[in-house]
Structure 1
Amino acid sequence: MYHYGGALADDYIEEDEEKYARFMERIEAGEKIEADDWMPNEYRETLIKLISMHGISEIMGALPEKEWVPKAPTLKRKLGIMAKVQDEMGHGQLLLRVAEDLLKPYGKNRESLMLDLLNGDLKFHNVFHMPTKTWADAGMVGWLVDGAAIISQTNMLDASYGPYQRALQRICKEEVFHAQHGESIIMALAEGTEHQRAILQDSLNRWWPSLLMFFGPANASTTGSSKQEATTKYRIRKNSNEELRQAFLDKYLPRVFSLGLTVPDETVHYNEEKQQWVYQQPDWNEFKQIIGNNGPRSKERLRLREIAYENNSWVRQALASNAAIS
């Protein structure tokens, strides 16, 4: 997705063998790589893919919940979800600034990333292509989607790239509050009327496949991507997709069952011998369709982002003019 030219990673190793060896020594010693440090192309491009997708997903992820700001059942709930939307947009801007530093050698910037989103070159997370049909969905996004995000992001809290690692320190702290916000909605519905519990169960049934897809496929052959291997090789993250998915199931399935809820998979059970959850694999072909901007709400949400980009062009022009004058 992001190869802007220049030497490939293998060429870098051949031409700068000593630099590459020293780079790997620093990573293995736990040192942090900074934006101005030498790094192989593979490392830079892996970070660009990961961080830009993360940043754009934070921005696009605000849209499903934004839909519920005017429809939230109480003033307290409106204020809570408004604050959460504001946080998510802030996370996106912070991460796109981190990505922008990595893009400088290619002459790219944050605006380039937004254009890549709008023309389909930059993808966003599968869960944010999905509809939020009921108030229970707003709670589900906060409780389980943000819960999954916390598991994924805390896995990178010691990432080898310093600017990303420091950004994650702040983001993860705020995501904990988001998960608590979602959990409070879920608990209120779970303790409510029979109708409210039915809405909650329906929401979980609809979101379950997306939640399993959240961490990505167990192996690269499913999607043709080798990002998983590169991120662990360069110590950007510690665990594999499947290990993260199992951590999510370990944490949340007991909570789901304790509320008297079920998941739409009769095969789900815990294998004591292997000490892991057994579950039915989601449809990974559907996953590829969704992240290819063919999900239930892909076109509508991209159009909203495009309208915002067009309507606020005067702000970018004003900032560019001021920068030129100064």
Structure 2
Amino acid sequence: MDMSVLERELNEHEKLEQFIAKIEAGDKIEADDWMPEEYRLALIKLISMHGISEIMGALPEKEWVPKAPSLRRKLGIMAKVQDEMGHGQLLLRVAEDLLKPYGKDRGDLMNDLFSGKLKFHNVFHMATKTWADAGVIGWLVDGAAIITQTNMLNASYGPYSRALHRICAEEVFHAHHGESIIMALAEGTEEQKQMLQESLNGWWEALLMFFGPASSSTTGSSKQDITIKYKIRTSTNEELRQSFFTKYIPRILSLGLTIPDPTLRFDEEQQLWIYQQPDWSKFKEIITNNGPRSQARLNLRRVSYETNAWVRDALSAVAN
């Protein structure tokens, strides 16, 4: 072997050991720090998917701005949509710093979204047919997101950790917004209660899928293993799902709602929830843009991106 190649390999090995020692000590990795490519690529995949999901996740609720039942509700859901878009932009900027060594930027991420290369969360491919659906997104989908994101508040990558502290603080308000809608419906007319139950029935499987499969063998992906290895997060998909059950099942039942899973129970011996597995083949189909509203929302995002190209061009001209 050529000595220069051997020296480079030894140097890379030394850098990796220093990197591991740094994250094991609880220190943060910054954008300009050396990092192994596996770590960089895992961050790009995670953060870009998170950022795009925030943007695509605003669209189901945006549909309900003109149809919200009162002016107060319209203002509330408009503010939430604005926040989600802001979260997306913040996260895409974090991802953009990681893309620089590859000569890519946010524009490339948007093109990856349109081509199907960049995925977004399964829940945001679903239809919002009723006002109760808007409430379920705010209460349970955002609740699931908070559980996932707080698990990464102390992520080893500093820029992502700092962004999450801001995002999670705002997501708590979003969850309260959704809970307010749910409580109003649960305490309303029989028709409203029925609408709420039907919404829960329709969203339950998607909520289980939100956290991803329990093991990498289900999808052939080792993303959760890599993110835990590098201390980007601390809990597995299944641990996060169990935390969601523990927090929300008692709350759901307290409203007089029925969870659409006759097998659901808490096993005292194992100290975990037993539940019916969702159809993971459906999950794969949905996240490859074959969900109920996948193409409609992608087309809306595509038209918006193309229509506003002049703004990006103008800003680029000023910068240059």
TM-score scaled by structure 1? 0.95
1:278 lines up with 2:274 in the alignment: yes
What residue number does 1:201 align with? 197
Shift of residue 13, structure 1, vs aligned partner: 6.9
1:88 lines up with 2:81 in the alignment: no
What residue number does 1:41 align with? 37
Q: How far, CA to CA, are the matches of 1:23 and 1:245 in structure 2?
A: 31
Q: How far, CA to CA, are the matches of 2:58 and 2:119 in structure 1?
A: 15
Question: Which of 219, 237, 242 in structure 1 is aligned with 2:233?
Answer: 237
| Percent identical residues | 73
1:300 lines up with 2:296 in the alignment: yes
1:100 lines up with 2:125 in the alignment: no
Kept after mapping to 2: 8 A contact 1:13/1:20: no
Q: What SS does structure 1 have at the residue aligned with 2:52?
A: helix
Q: How far, CA to CA, are the matches of 2:10 and 2:219 in structure 1?
A: 29
Question: Which of 170, 175, 195 in structure 2 is aligned with 1:174?
Answer: 170
Deviations 1:240-284, CA, capped at 9 Å, x for gaps: 000000000000000001111011110001101111110000000
Shift of residue 15, structure 1, vs aligned partner: 5.5
* Structure 1 residue ranges without an equivalent (≥5): 1-11
Shift of residue 18, structure 1, vs aligned partner: 0.4
Matched ranges for 1:262-277 at <5 A: 262-277=258-273
Moved over 4 A (4+): 12-15
What residue number does 1:5 align with? none
Matched ranges for 1:51-90 at <5 A: 51-90=47-86
Q: How far, CA to CA, are the matches of 1:293 and 1:19 in structure 2?
A: 39
Q: What SS does structure 2 have at the residue aligned with 1:16?
A: helix
Deviations 1:146-194, CA, capped at 9 Å, x for gaps: 0000000000000000000000000000000000000000000000000
Cα 1:270/1:316, change in 2 over 3 Å? same
Q: How far, CA to CA, are the matches of 1:313 and 1:138 in structure 2?
A: 30
Kept after mapping to 2: 8 A contact 1:139/1:186: yes
What residue number does 1:256 align with? 252
Q: How far, CA to CA, are the matches of 1:317 and 1:224 in structure 2?
A: 40
Matched ranges for 1:180-195 at <5 A: 180-195=176-191
Kept after mapping to 2: 8 A contact 1:232/1:238: yes
Kept after mapping to 2: 8 A contact 1:54/1:124: yes
Question: Which of 157, 160, 164 in structure 1 is aligned with 2:153?
Answer: 157
Q: What SS does structure 2 have at the residue aligned with 1:277?
A: strand
What residue number does 2:116 align with? 120
Output the aligned Cα RMSD. 0.8
Q: What SS does structure 1 have at the residue aligned with 2:273?
A: strand
The one-letter amino acid paired with 1:173 is: A
1:28 lines up with 2:24 in the alignment: yes
Q: How far, CA to CA, are the matches of 2:41 and 2:63 in structure 1?
A: 34
Kept after mapping to 2: 8 A contact 1:13/1:40: no
What residue number does 1:144 align with? 140
Deviations 1:95-120, CA, capped at 9 Å, x for gaps: 00000000000000011100100111
* Structure 2 residue ranges without an equivalent (≥5): 1-7
Cα 1:226/1:274, change in 2 over 3 Å? same
The one-letter amino acid paired with 2:254 is: S
Q: What SS does structure 2 have at the residue aligned with 1:100?
A: helix
Q: How far, CA to CA, are the matches of 1:47 and 1:300 in structure 2?
A: 28
Shift of residue 14, structure 1, vs aligned partner: 6.1
Q: How far, CA to CA, are the matches of 1:13 and 1:140 in structure 2?
A: 52
Kept after mapping to 2: 8 A contact 1:66/1:82: yes
Q: How far, CA to CA, are the matches of 2:47 and 2:10 in structure 1?
A: 27
Q: How far, CA to CA, are the matches of 2:311 and 2:184 in structure 1?
A: 41
Deviations 1:2-29, CA, capped at 9 Å, x for gaps: xxxxxxxxxx976511000000000000
